[in-house]
Amino acid sequence: MVYRLLASIALSTLFLFFPSSAQAHVSNPHETIADDLAAQLADQLDADIKAYPMSQLGITRLVLAETLEQPEHGDSLYQLSHQLSEGLYAHLEERDILLVEFRAQDYISISQRGALALSRDAETLNQNPNLDWMLVGTLSRKDSGAMVNLRIIDRRNQQVLAAANRYVPKHLYWPNKQSEMVNGRLQRN
């Protein structure tokens, strides 16, 4: 009886310190940045979403503004590019924007390494995904960080429907690193 009373008190004390509702994602700098960018884009798209409620968006990986290529492994912008691109899926979906995962196969590949549905093998993917809009973005080194620029483009006429940008200080995406690869060369920070 005493144990039950102590357990009840302990559990009720825990609920004072921890919220009872579950969150879809944990706040971290990348999530906060992705959420901010998604909010900017969704606000600008609001009129277009109402005019074209069934329009579907595909999200591409962010590239370097100077070369329009993906950052290389070892470049401080590599992880930022990946994490923001992936994080935008959840944050745009929360804002009722219809998303298309064009990397999805129409089957599950099973191997000794696991069961996969996503692929980058162009031969296994739909060559003409049903997309109306594309999210594209660039990263530019600026001061002690990076400028993230995003655009949502109408696929039919290349019209920019929405744009967003955000400066990201380097300590948020490359903490405690002494050097990195920049344009194929080692650079000390």
Q: What's the chain's average pLDDT?
A: 77
- Residues 126, 161, 62, 28: is their CA dihedral positive or negative? negative
pLDDT tens for 141-153 read: 988 889 999 999 9
| Residue type, position 95, single letter | R
Evaluate whether 13 touches 7 at the Cβ level (below 8 Å). Answer: no
Residue 156 backbone dihedrals phi, psi, to 5 degrees: -75, -35
Q: Compute the Cα dihedral for 118, 122, 125, 131 and give only its sign.
A: positive
- For the stretch 72-89, pLDDT in tens is 988 889 988 988 888 888
Task: Look at residue 35 and give its three-state secondary structure.
Answer: helix
Low-confidence stretches of the chain (pLDDT beneath 50): 1-24, 26
What pLDDT, on a 0 to 100 scale, did the predictor assign at position 186? 65
pLDDT (0 to 100) of residue 133: 92
Residue 153 has phi, psi (to 5 degrees) of -115, 135
